[in-house]
Structure 1
Amino acid sequence: MDGHDTDDLKQSTADMTAFVQNLLQQMQTRFQTMSDSIVSKNILS
């Protein structure tokens, strides 16, 4: 494995990390929206 392969691996790992962080953030946002909606409906009922 030469230096170029190592750089590609580091970039690939960084890309995957960013992708997973973004996915988790989207899931957190959606979960929070659903939770807020459920709480609001329970309070108003």
Structure 2
Amino acid sequence: REMKKLRNKEISSVKVVWGGQAGEYATWELENKFRESYPELFSVTP
């Protein structure tokens, strides 16, 4: 997780590692958008 600070706002992003036939690569995605698309990755289970 990475936090970028703007003047009046903080933006949280997560590093996503994508895998595929050609190999793996990583991108930074906005955390709130990624949570909407993949909520199961952020759920906390005891």
TM bin (shorter chain)? under 0.3
TM-score by length of 1: 0.25
Higher strand share: 2
TM-score by length of 2: 0.25
Larger Rg: 1
Flag the structure with more relative contact order, 1 or 2, with Cα contacts below 8 A and sequence separation at least 6. 2
Higher helix share: 1
